[in-house]
Structure formats: structure tokens, C-alpha cells
Amino acid sequence: MNPSDPRAMQPTEDPSAPKPERPKVVVKLRGQIWEVEGNRRAREVVRELGLNPESYLVVRDGELITDDTILRPGDRVELIAVISGG
Amino acid sequence: MRCRKCRERAVIHMRQHKLALCRDHYLAWIPEQTERFIRKYRMFTRDEPVLVAVSGGKDSLALWDVLLRLGYRADGLYLGLGIDGDIGYSDASYAKIRAFAEQHPEARLHVLDIRETYGESIPELAQRTRRGKGKPCSVCGLVKRHEMNRIAHELGYPVLATGHNLDDEVAVLFQNTLHWNTGYLARQYPVLPGGDGFARKVKPFCRFYERETAAYAILRGIDYIYDECPYSVGATTIYYKELLDRLEADRPGAKLSFYLSFLRAKDQDGLFAHVQEGERAEMHPCSRCGQPTTAPDLCAFCRLWPEEVLERPTETFIPLTLAPVAEPPEAA
């Protein structure tokens, strides 16, 4: 389309329509699911959930990752609690 | 983060060692370090059969796996405790252990069900004897210690290995230090000598953080029981572990340093040595089972059960051995 064509200036979306939600990081722990913002290190996500990164391992797509790994929107991770015993 | 050895993607970062490793190098590092600890603390030699106490959790199954990978003669011992907790805890634990054992035909698995043997599960026993204020943990520990030692002795294993990790050791050290429980502090060590009715007790994982044994189990594909014992909810040990992990988060290496400084104080400065000498001297054989005790007649385990239970035929108390067995272990 020619940029001078007035149709090119038309908004592609209705500004009053609700914006689609940005994908989030899905976190699973002991059967519970949380959705949190991405583009942050795994340890920051763990802390946001009120947990201590020392006490959890992070698995993404079945692979263990270090807690400095950046989690991207759409990532699905599982937290594995490591403390056991009584 | 990259592996220090090959620059591949790291799967674990051990801040206390300033060491990040990839999957392959981590799976090699754990057995190497385990072997180092076995030798350093003179736990056992390759000529000695080892009985590994397995619960179905990450630590004990990982330990059994590592010892087999290192070529040790390591067999498993499972005690069925009869704990359900609405999740079938003991049954689920046993299923994990059976599955592991089936994948390792070079090892044997000995199984003793407490209820079948003595007529009561651990929760039932705790209720009848009213020990532990509604929680069976105290009586459970007592039964496990006695039976593990008895079975190791009767089956000819000079060494009993448990999967205690550094977090277990540090939580106990912390608790005993808070109470200045010098008797327990005197006994705490990676290896407890055998003899006089005791199997030698060893903890080859005592210098690994709990997150490291969990990482090993995951990376090796070991299917362990993830659920906790239902009676461990609110346990003091777990509370101390959480506290110590908060310390570790701020001061990487704090847990390891606490434990190693304690061992050094015992080794080099003789900390609590006089307490330990006194305790062993006070022991004598239980008048029924023969295991060492400080009680005047029957040991605490034998006092738990009615006389008719303890007088059952000898074969009642022999564990079931599952397995691909080649030969029985050589006598100690």
C-alpha cells in the first residue's frame, strides 16, 4: 500500500478495545500454578513468589536451569522443592 | 551461565564452591566427590559390602545409584513403616524403590515390613506407647535405628550407609548447638565406628547440599518420592533448614563452613572428645536383643513391644530379600 494513501493512516485496532494480554511465565510448584512477568532471571521469579531460591531448583522444558537464566514470556517452568526430612 | 570445564550450558551453580557445571560434568563430579569423601573419612573399602538404607527419597536413591556407579557392592534396605497419611506414603515410597531396584540387577533389596513383623505400624505403635505427643517421629527414629543396625549385623554387612546430606547435618548441628546437647554433638560425624554390636554408620553425602542431591536425582532420571512424610509437616528440622537457607542466600557457603569448622574443631582440637569416651564406656548389651544400650536391662526398642511379640519365631524377623542375587555378601 502506498504510504500516501489515506487508508494507511487508519488505526489497525480499535483503541477502545481491550489490549491482548502479554504472554507470561507459567510457574508450577506442587500442583499449583502461577503466572508472572517474564524477561527476568529465574531467581527473581522465585523470590517474587515469596520463596528462597536456595531451596528450589528450576526446571524448564524438562531441563534443569541455573537461577541466573532469563525466563521469557511464554516459558513454562517447574519449581522443585529440595528441603526434605523431619 | 557456562560450565567451568567445557563452556557448555550449566545446569547447576554451586555458589559455595564458585563452581558451575553442565549436565555431563555434574554427573561425573558427584561420584568423584563421593569417592573423595569415602576415602577422606575412611568410611569403607571396596572389599566391604555396604547396606544402603533407602526410603524412596532423593538422597537415599541417589546415594545407592552413586555407590553402584562407583562399583561398590551396595545393596538396599527398605523398612516398611506403614505410614499412609491419605497419600499412601509408605506404599508409594516402596514402589519407587522397587522400580529403582529392578533397573539395577547387580544389587539386592532387603525389605522388612514393621507391621508384618511386629504387628503394628509406626503410627499404631506411637499411639499405643504414647511417645512423641501425637507424632510418631521419635518412635520411628528409634525403630529405624534399631532395625537397620540389627539387619546389617544379621545379614553380614559391616557398613550401613544413609543418604544424609549437608543440610541434614547442619540442621542437626544447629539444633544441638542451640541446646548445647554435648552428647549428640560428640557423636555427630561422617562416620561412626562399628564394633561392640554396632554396624559402622557412614554418610557419604554429608558434604553435598540438599539441592545438589536433588539435582543429581533429576539429572539421572531417578524417580524418587517427592511427597514428604505426612508427619514431617511443621517439623523443627525443616524450620531450621529454612532458616539456614536464608543465611546461605545472604552468605554463600555459610552452611558448608559451619559444618566443616565443626568437624575441624573435633578433629584438630578434640572438641567433645571427653564426652564421647564417657558415653561408649556406659554401654552394655540389651538383655534380650544384645544391641548396645545405656539402659540397665532392656534397650528402648525392646521395651516398646509386648513380650509375646519379641518371642515370635526367629524367621519372623528376617527381611525378605528381593533380587537378582548372585551370592550372599561375605561375612564381616
Using one digit for the tens of pLDDT, what is the confidence trace for B170-181?
999 999 999 999
CB B11 to CB A65 under 8 A?
yes
Instruction: Examine the pLDDT at A81 and tell me if it is beyond 50.
Output: yes
Ranking B43-47, B64-68, B327-331 by mean pLDDT, the lowest is: B327-331
pLDDT at position A6: 45
Q: Which residue has the cell 528441603?
A: A83
Counting Cβ atoms within 10 Å, is residue B236 exposed (0-12), middle (13-18) or buried (19+)? exposed
Instruction: Examine the pLDDT at B5 and tell me if it is beyond 70.
Output: yes
Instruction: Examine the pLDDT at B83 and tell me if it is beyond 70.
Output: yes
Taking each helix axis from N to C terminus, what angle separates B137-154 and B122-129, rounded to the nearest 10 degrees? 120
Of A64, A83, A84, Cβ closest to residue B215: A64
A chain contacts of residue B228, beta-carbon cutoff 8 Å = 84, 86
Residue B47 distance to chain A (closest CA, Å): 32
pLDDT at position A12: 55
CB B242 to CB A83 under 8 A?
yes
pLDDT at position B316: 86
Of A57, A63, A85, Cβ closest to residue B211: A57
CB B242 to CB A67 under 8 A?
no
Helices and strands, number each (H, E), in chain A: 1, 7
B317 vs B25, residue with greater confidence: B25
Count the alpha carbons within 13 Å of B66 in the hemisphere toward its beta carbon.
33
B105 vs B325, residue with greater confidence: B105
Q: Indicate the domain borders of chain A.
A: 20-81
Of A52, A67, A82, Cβ closest to residue B210: A82
- pLDDT band at residue B324 under the 50/70/90 scheme: low
Q: Indicate the domain borders of chain B.
A: 40-322
Instruction: Examine the pLDDT at A47 and tell me if it is beyond 50.
Output: yes
Of A54, A55, A68, Cβ closest to residue B1: A68
Instruction: Examine the pLDDT at B330 and tell me if it is beyond 80.
Output: no
CA distance B263 to B206: 11
- pLDDT band at residue B210 under the 50/70/90 scheme: very high
Instruction: Examine the pLDDT at B279 and tell me if it is beyond 50.
Output: yes
Instruction: Examine the pLDDT at A76 and tell me if it is beyond 70.
Output: yes
pLDDT at position A10: 52
Best to test chain A binding among B55, B89, B218, B247 (most A CBs inside 10 Å): B218
What was the ipTM of the complex prediction? 0.90
* Residues of chain B above pLDDT 70, percent: 94
The three cell numbers locating residue B235: 517439623
CA distance B198 to B205: 21
- Buried-state track A36-68, b at ≥16 Cβ within 10 A, e below 16: bebeebbbbbbeeeebebbbbbbbbeeebbbbe
Mean pLDDT, residues B270-288: 80
Give A49-62 pLDDT, tens digit per residue: 999 999 999 999 99
> Is 3.40.50.620 the CATH number for B40-322?
yes
Give A2-33 pLDDT, tens digit per residue: 444 544 455 555 667 666 677 899 999 998 99
pLDDT at position B207: 98
B chain contacts of residue A53, beta-carbon cutoff 8 Å = 249
Mean pLDDT, residues B238-250: 97
Place domain A20-81 in its CATH homologous superfamily.
Beta-grasp domain (3.10.20.30)
